[in-house]
A and B are shown apart, each in its own frame.
Chain A
Amino acid sequence: MMKFLFMIFFMIPLCFLKNMFWMVQLMLMVIMFLFMNCMINIVNFSNLSYMLGCDLISFSLILLSIWICMLMIMASESLKKNKFYDNFFLLNIIILLIMLYLTFSVMNLFLFYLFFEGSLIPTMLLIIGWGYQPERIQAGLYLLFYTLFASLPMLMGIFFIFSEYNNLIIYYMKFFNFNFYLLYFSMILAFLVKMPMYFVHLWLPKAHVEAPVSGSMILAGVMLKLGGYGLLRFMILFQEIGMKLNFIWIIISLVGSFYISLNCLCQVDMKSLIAYSSVAHMGLVICGIMTINYWGYLGSLIMMIGHGLCSSGMFCLVNICYERLYSRSLYINKGLMNFMPSMSLWWFLLMSSNMAAPPSLNLMGEISLINSMVSWSWLSMIMLIMISFFSAVYSLYLYSYTQHGNYNLGMYSFYTGVSREYLLLMLHWLPLNILILKIDYMMIWF
């Protein structure tokens, strides 16, 4: 595990050499495949060294982060073409990857917190440095302060746990049990804001709209999953009190996801629509974890991986259209099938994955989550019906509005698309729809 950390760390000087933009991306791909070959023990933590260790959740999420970071570089070729500080951009991505890698692989709660907060800094630099509009400053501040203030109580909580039990190893958390309400709320709040849950989700649409494509990809792809990962780890501590109080978060998330799905249908900015759809999906993930069901755990992990790939792919698609048409508004991006017919395939594949159509990972996640929710209480069926239905509605709405119908311009011309973009989208879609064939990798835990 340390070896990968060092490998990523020593890619930093590589960022500053000339003409190394694609080399960095290639190296990340190499790291990805090397890391995949780590034989991990699914049930327990394996590959232990110093503070780092790996179990199934960490492993899948580290794979996701390396993959998304690699795709971020592939998506940002316009930065390289315009020479817009591409070295610093690469440096930013590498540091972000280091932070994420460490967040997912450390065995210590405090170090987890440290890198959890640390990953915010490169993200904010990415939004403020490479975003498009003057409003990005406000967006960056929202992102930073929402997540920072919410997670400060968690720091206090970690110190409390340390003072009680004198260690912070994640593996030992299953032997502990806390019954303090205050501790419960302060620890959980950080992750709920990060996920985000319905009432504290305001930062997400703002950040997504103002972020460049790479910022959106990493935000939707991995940063939201940090919240999910934290919840997966910390729920073990709070099982007893959770059984009493989790209904609050489940209800807020369920009803909130429904409202947000309705809100998606009113959006005119494509990125905003996808951002709200992220909130809706993550609402389901929160519910799954909060039920403290085996299926809920599984479903949330699978959903996180699936949603990370799918959302990131959709942001890439929006960026492809933005680079051509210079607008994200639905009034201008319509009838694109006439304009870029080959892209329609990718729009369809990713939109259908978004609405959890088979055979995507999202489907598997949603089935498991629905199972866990209904087994927790049959009343949740009402909201789940609505959420599933409307997620199909807004995915289809986005697809048919952008692709079908009357087109705006380009009467005599159309775009063929660039190979790099097709590769980018394929690399998003392939794991999404092919991993379903080996889903027992994630479904058989303990």
Chain B
Amino acid sequence: MMSSDIINKNTDRIIYPEHADVVIIGGGFIGASVGYWLKTRAGEGLSVVILEEDFTYARIQNNVSLGILNQHFSLPENINLSQYSVEFLRNVKNNLNSDVDIQFCPIGHLILASDKYAERLEQNVAILKEYGVKNELLTTNDIQEKYPWINTVDIKLGCISTESEGIFNPWALLKGLVMECKKLGVTFVNAKVVGFEMEQQQDVLMEGISPGNFKRINQVIFKTNDNEEHTIKFAIGVLSAGDSSGKIAKLAQIGLGDDLLKLPLPVERREYNIYKIRDSDDVKINLHTPCLMDTSGLWLRRNSIDRNFLCGVTPLLNSNEKELLSDGYYADIIEPSLLNRYQNIKQNQISKLKTEIDDCNTYDGTGILGYHPYHTNMILAAGFGKLGCQHAPGIGRAIAEIVIDGHYTSIDLTRFGFDRLLIDEPLVEFNVY
């Protein structure tokens, strides 16, 4: 499952492309998905280059927490994106090549609500039914009957979807996307972006910019493994570098200028731990055990077909980068919630598995997608957090649509644009997983 190199590095004389129609910075889930969709729709008409600094995907490799697919969102865009992801994953052998083994187990996602949010859950379920999501509300008795190992003392309502929610193998998805990209003709370059070259354009008229002062991004400067810097001229750049997006945006003067460049891209890195819970006779994990979302923000999922659980907490907006890794956090917040909810688990069954990295949009937690208002040739696609992997097919298709068609044709993600930061209207996804 964890291979060291999914892209063979050809270290003989490499000729780096000097020009591309589309340059994608970051070749992770979203980057590879954009490359796949652009090439599927445009074929030879667009030359696509992906700049990825780590071909072993060592930092994404560990993301076992991303393999959860659920549809219980409050924003309609997220619901549509999830539904499309399910459709994509179901036909993954047609969409990508037939070797991809996505291991999609639609085991369901059980969301627990305490008294405080029970009404909200009901309203949400009603909205979801309009979108065609099949789910059912469970009372406390139902939950105790079906899943006796959950402590339902403080739970009033639960909701589980009966189809299209579950777990899948995100590594297989990433590998499938990257392989298909390579087959369709996307050029992968092992490089790290170190800057952008800007050129002053004399004849641009833009609202809010005095004439003659517009600086346009011309080329992206990247450094390869042998410490040499190269440049690529591009027409459209896609910034999908995950947690480094904020820093790369700063290289493009986003956040360091004035007027439209005043606001930085608020995507920062958060690290959190994944814990493994071994099975025991009391818990009895079987194939039908759903993923669980607790009232405290703790999520739990089965570790594919192994008989153990994985659990973790979704990082919050206002925690700092490593706060969730500290032992204090574990002892004070995670462990008590865990032991409270699942009373059959003993402390010795829990062990720390991995540390994972999340790109968190510190403004409102929802992803930023769309052209930047000043740099009209840069598309931002970052800050989706854990939903980045889940929604990657839909997001990639949306970006391909705005490049090729000029607007969103299937799922309208206009509200995800950067503009909401300019007018200060946060778009909050209530059900954050």
Contacts and interface: CB of A to CB of B under 8 A. Distances in A.
Interface string A305-339: 00000000000000000001111011110110000
Interface stretch (A60-68, A105-113, A291-299, A407-415): A407-415
A410 to B, nearest CB: 5
Interface SS of A by simple majority: loop
Given A415-B204, A418-B202, A331 B18 contact: no
Nearest to A327: B235
A368 B158 CA distance: 83
Nearest to B214: A413
B204 A332 contact: no
Contacts of B234: 326-327
Contact of B406 (A330, A334, A413): A334
Nearest to A132: B19
Contacts of B19: 132-133, 326
Contacts of A44: none
Contacts of A377: none
Interface string A253-274: 0000000000000001100000
Contact of A412 (B47, B207, B407): B207
A335 B406 contact: yes
A326 B18 contact: no
A270 to B, nearest CB: 11
Given A332-B46, A332-B235, A332-B236, A406 B405 contact: yes
Contacts of B377: 325-326, 409
Contact of A325 (B235, B371, B403): B235
Interface string B228-250: 00000111100000000000000
Contacts of A358: none
B394 to A, nearest CB: 21
Interface in A403-437: 405-418
B2 interface: no
Given A325-B235, A326-B234, A133 B21 contact: no
B206 interface: yes
A40 B211 CA distance: 50
A17 B79 CA distance: 67
B: interface residue count bin: 20 to 34
B197 to A, nearest CB: 12
Among A324, A325, A332, residue most surrounded by chain B Cβ atoms (within 10 Å): A332
A406 B208 CA distance: 24
A330 B202 CA distance: 25
Interface string B370-394: 0101001100000000000000000
Interface in B172-230: 201-209, 214, 218
B44 interface: yes
A287 B363 CA distance: 68
Nearest to A340: B203
Given A326-B19, A326-B233, A331-B45, A408 B373 contact: no
A134 interface: yes
B353 interface: no
Interface residues of A, number: 29
Most buried by B among A330, A407, A415, A417: A415
B404 interface: yes
Interface string B19-50: 10100000000000000000000101111000
Q: Is the interface of B mostly helix, strand, loop or mixed?
A: mixed
B15 interface: yes
B352 to A, nearest CB: 46
Contacts of A415: 201, 203-205
A334 B404 CA distance: 9
B430 to A, nearest CB: 30
A116 B337 CA distance: 86
Nearest to B203: A416
A267 to B, nearest CB: 9
A330 B204 CA distance: 22
Given A331-B404, A332-B21, A413 B203 contact: no
A331 B47 CA distance: 11
Contacts of B44: 268
B203 A418 contact: yes
A409 B22 CA distance: 13
A133 B46 contact: no
Given A411-B376, A418-B202, A418-B203, A134 B15 contact: yes
A15 to B, nearest CB: 26
Contacts of B46: 329, 331-332
B106 to A, nearest CB: 37
A429 B411 CA distance: 45
B21 A331 contact: yes
A330 B404 CA distance: 9
A331 B45 CA distance: 7
A408 B45 CA distance: 15
A407 B406 contact: yes
A184 B160 CA distance: 85
B236 A409 contact: yes
Given A132-B18, A326-B234, A413 B205 contact: yes
Contact of A329 (B15, B21, B204): B21
Nearest to B15: A134
Nearest to B206: A413
Contacts of B205: 413-416
B235 A326 contact: yes
A96 B371 CA distance: 45
A134 B18 CA distance: 8
Interface in B394-427: 403-407
B95 to A, nearest CB: 21
B89 to A, nearest CB: 28
Contacts of B371: 409, 411
Interface string B42-67: 10111100000000000000000000
Nearest to A405: B406
A107 B233 CA distance: 47
Contacts of B206: 412-413
A205 to B, nearest CB: 13
A306 to B, nearest CB: 30
Contacts of A334: 406
Contacts of B218: 326
Contacts of B17: 133-134
A90 to B, nearest CB: 23
B373 A412 contact: yes
Contacts of A330: 45
Nearest to A267: B45
A420 B21 CA distance: 26
A409 B376 CA distance: 6
Interface in B352-376: 371, 373, 376
A273 to B, nearest CB: 12
Contacts of B203: 415-418
Nearest to B232: A326
A145 B129 CA distance: 68
Given A132-B19, A412-B207, A415-B204, A331 B406 contact: no
A178 to B, nearest CB: 47
A337 to B, nearest CB: 13
A413 B236 contact: no
A326 B377 CA distance: 10
Interface string A112-134: 00000000000000000000111
11 contacts: A133-B18, A268-B44, A324-B201, A326-B218, A330-B45, A332-B46, A412-B206, A412-B208, A415-B201, A415-B205, A418-B202
Given A326-B235, A411-B373, 8 more contacts: A269-B45, A326-B234, A330-B45, A332-B235, A332-B403, A407-B406, A409-B236, A412-B208
Top 4 closest A-B pairs, CB basis?
A: A327-B235, A406-B406, A268-B45, A413-B206
